[in-house]
Each structure stands twice: as C-alpha cells, then as structure tokens.
Structure 1
C-alpha cells in the first residue's frame, strides 16, 4: 500500500526520504546498498518511495551499514520552507568531481541547515546582511570589480586587508562549516538553502587558500544565485562561473584601489611580505597583478618561473605560519545550551538524529563538547541544625 512505513513503537514511523538521504550521503548506489543489505535494489527503491517498508531486521542493518542512529530514520523533514527557491550547489573543482560524490556532499548543507534550525529555537544568530544589487544578466570583469568594491563598502570594510574572513561572513549571517572532505576533487562548496547562505570548507588546505575558497564561494553566492542546477553542469557555463568566482575572490581580498599601490617589486621576497599582510597566496597575488595589468607579461613570466624553480606552487612560504580561521557559531551555540543547563548533550544528539562524530565534524566542535554531562548538584548542610 502506498505510503506504508515501518512502525517503531507508538507513533514512531520510518521516514522514507531519510532512507534515500542516508544512502546517497554515504555514496552508495541502489545496487551497492542492495548487496550490503541482502535485499533487491527494487525493494530499496520502494522503501525510499514509501510504497513499502523495511522489516525491523533490514532497518537495523541500515543503521549499522549507513552509520546513522535509528532516530535519524524516524526524524521528519519539516523545516523546508516552500516559499524559498534554493540555489544551485557550487562546487569548487566541480569539473573533476564525480556526480556520486557531489550528491553525497549536498546533504551536508541540509544537515547544517537542520542543526541551524534546531539551534535557532534557543539562540539568536546574526541576521543575514547581504545587499541586493541591481539585476544583472551579463557579467564581465569590470562589473565584478565594481561589485566587490561595493560589497566591501556596504560592509564597512576599509581599504585594508580583511583580518578574518570567517568572522566577517559569520557576522553577516553566513553559516560556515569545515569538514575533512577526504577527497582532493572537492575543495569547498556553497548554497543558498532555505534562504540562508551556507559555505562548506575543506580542512586540508593552508589558511590563505582556505580564505580564498571562502571568497570564491562568496562570489558564487553574490553573482550566480540565478543559475539553476541543470545549467551549472554544462561545461561552458561551469568554466565561466568558476572564472568569475575566482575574479571576485581576487577583487574582494585584494581590492584594486589599495592592493595595486603596494606592489612595488617583482621579487618573490616582496610577495612573501605582501602575503603576510594580505593573507592571500603568492600565486593568487600574481594572478591578481596580471588581471589588473600591474606587471608586464615578461614580469609575470619571470614570477611564474621563480615559483616553479622554488617549487612554491604547492607549498609556499608562510603556509604553516598563518593561522586557520575556524568557524565558531555552532560551537558557541552548543556551549550556551549545555553550560546553562538548557538541554543536555544527550538531548541534543537525540533531537538532531545524527551520530556524534558527524556533528563534531560538520560543526567543527571539540570532541568532548557533546560528551559533557549535567553537573550533579551536591547536598549541603543546613545552617541551622536546631
């Protein structure tokens, strides 16, 4: 019967959409999971459509194989606002990213949104503060330079290096997560989801390259929210928007009205000095100089040759010296709830329905944070014993 679901005690039912979510997020095809569960692909498809229900034995196998708590499969998908149109998911290095991997990682945005939705019941997060620029259909590099400067002006950023990109964007309502992506084909990705801008960063890059990833994803969210998911997979469109996002990142981090005045030498030592000040990689600064015509073609070739000679393309000076900028909003929110005895860590885990390691990773929180137990109140002696 259509819509049939497995009963788990009183008023507890498996949510069919959660079965597909668990499977896809782990990178399994129907055939993959079929082999692991010992049921047919058609049976799993019917579970996901809600046309039939897995037995308790099969369900418990799913819990074990897909590494989700039982409560995850019982959790309704209830925080989707039909009035919001979600943007495409923008993957850095998307050209070489396998489709199965992209589909798996997309759910990390959904999970971040569910965690955000849960925490908002108790915590006031910074409001979203992104300017509405005039509609633009044709994007060129002149427009990108203009928009980057306008955004800096709107946010009150002076003509100096941005000290902390994570802090800046979180203060403007962005939700930033950092994951050990474990795959060199994915650097970062972003999406407007439920009208909230989400950026997921990898944890395996230098601090300056991670800052550039943040600015790149900001560029996508500012410039490309009108592009749908079907269009973004077309090579000519993908190549174009990736170049535009890179251009925006350079213009935002290294504004033309100030950075250009500081480029006074073609020595790599000078660019190391600029890297310490602007917290942008030498390779990105060379590209920016080329874009702004600050150096001649021969000077650019010389710098690129020096980068190759010194093997700086992968590991630059100061890569280990400049500190990572870590997301902290979710960490602060969980600490407020637990330290003030609003909810316990066990209640948080039960309500969210993800395994603890998943939450630790996605929210970039210490491993012991969701292990904290409510302090037992000690008995005290009465002052008056008469």
Structure 2
C-alpha cells in the first residue's frame, strides 16, 4: 500500500511540474531552448508503451530512440533534446542503441531542482528501465537518487557532473552506481577570460548561471581565478542568475567602456542583440561555453574570441560503464568517473573542422566499432583506464587522425 501511495504521489508531482511549463526558466536552459515535460513529448502510439508505462505516464511516454525492441532500456534525464548540444547527444545514443540493442527513453526535466530529478528517477524506475543516466545531477541528492535505483535494481550513471567529494565514498560503494563523466569546466571558465585578454579586452563583464549546478559553478570559479591572476584587467561586474540577456543590457547601459563579455553558457544567443541595440557592434568581444550553429559566423568575424563545447560525447562514458555492467562484465571493481576534454575553438577554421569531423549528421567522435574496444563482450581486455584515455585524448586532431579526411 505504501508503494502504491508513493507511486500516486509521484505521478501527481510529475504532472504538476509539467503544468509549470518553462516559466521559471526564461533564458535558463543550458541551450536556450524552450523546455517541456517528458510527459508532453510524444503519444503512446508514436513510441509504444506497456501497461506499466501507461500507469506512470497517464497514457504518454517520453521521447525514445535507439532500438525500440532493445535487450536493455536506459532512461536519460536531461533538460532538452532540441538544442545544438543535446540534439547531438540524443543522436549519438540513437546510433549506439541501434548497434548495441539498447532502447533509450528520454525524460525531459523542466528545471534542475533536486525534487525534479528524484521524481524523474522514480518514474523511470516505475517504467521498468534497466539503467538511468542523469545529466547535471549533483549535490547530496545523488544519494537519494541512488537509493531509489537500489530499491528498484536499476543502475545509475552520471554525466556532465562530478560526484561531490562529501558523498563520493558512499556513492562508489553502491553496486548500482556504474560511473560517470564530467568536463574540464574550471579550465573552460579560466580559458574564456584569458581568450578575451589575449584579444585585447581590458574591461570584462562576467555572467554565469545561478549557483547550484556543478558544471556552471566550476566554470565560474575558473573565471574568477583568471581575473585574480590578471589584475591588469578590470572586472566590470558580476551577474549570476537566469536573466542573461537583461544582464548584458544592464551592463552595457551602466558602463560604456566594457569591451568583453564572458558567460558560462551560450553567448551569442544572449549577447548579440543587446550589443547591437546599444550600438556597440565591433567594440565588444564575447567568450563562452556551449557551441551553437551561430559560432561559425561569430568566430569568422572576430566577435567571438573563444567558444568551448563539444561535450555531447559525455554520454558515451556512463553508457559504456552501464552497458558493461548490464552484461555482467563491469570494466573494473573500482568505480571511475572520466574527465572529458572540451573542444576549444578560437578561429573559424577550428569550428569548421569541429563541424566536419565531429558534429555533422552521421559523424561521431567514436564509431561503434571503436566503442566495441571498451566493451568486454567484444574485447575481454577492456578496462576503465581505456575510457579515461579516451576522455583525455578527445579533440578535433585526435578524431581527424582516427577517421581521416
């Protein structure tokens, strides 16, 4: 009876979140795209559902990809599947899923609150998934999410975020935590500031996502360290929140000497129009994390001094850990989180190469044949260290060397 009541309450919570829309995320999605609830995505007729799924979703299901009749089903909790980054991430899982007989079920969250993640994990477990990959899930709530997975016999992997040091031992001790991956966010924050300095900027405004998301917090820390290391450069001001475009407008209205803007997420989408409206085109450069289709023009023109992204590959690492575990052949007894390089582009040529060799349709950092080398089913000698080496070598140059021109 308690489990039935828990399930009913969870369903009520999910639909109450769906009813909130994205009003509290104006400008706040990491990709700038409108975010909708996973329960609103596609009908059961489009995706195919079981009676168990119908009870959880009220006749609807989240987005799916990969092999619809896969041996395993892995849920992915993410904020969107439509922006430049996450649409590519989903395409990669579709590609891997079809090769490795895995169905991916995407649960689209409306915000990054702990209770939103926990509700998503509850619902995916109730659907009967074999594993869950969560993105940007951090803090001590990971322990609560892992407990839900343990109670349901479901594996958990984490992407785009590192497990907090305060709970790492507890998380690693669970047989249901398979591993995770995270980017060099601190270094990325540092690099976007120094790129502006190298481009001649003397008065730089710093803009970041509101505190609480590990990747953005670390990018912010890197930015602040770069300012500390370069006292010859003025910091025009700081803003952390959700109203990014307004923050740019306010900075430009209050200081006509600003010549650089650094932002921990998409830059062009939030900066270009305010700069144009202020009559400051050609006088301000920007640097940021997260690629978009507009990076090419910005880098070619010199408006963008540095764009950092390419992290769609992040999903590979928790997936490989999980797939090995599901097959009963974990890569190692010791749990591992893989540090993954960013791709840094400071010229239009670099971004063009990124698009050609890493991002265009049908092109991925590692082919499924290459991924088989880190799956014990195909290569009994595969180890977690092999994944760590992959994360460390990820670059445009490495991909060109492996895949050729």
TM-score normalised by structure 1 residue count: 0.25
TM-score normalised by structure 2 residue count: 0.24
Which protein has greater RCO, CA pairs closer than 8 Å, 6+ apart? 1
Higher strand share: 2
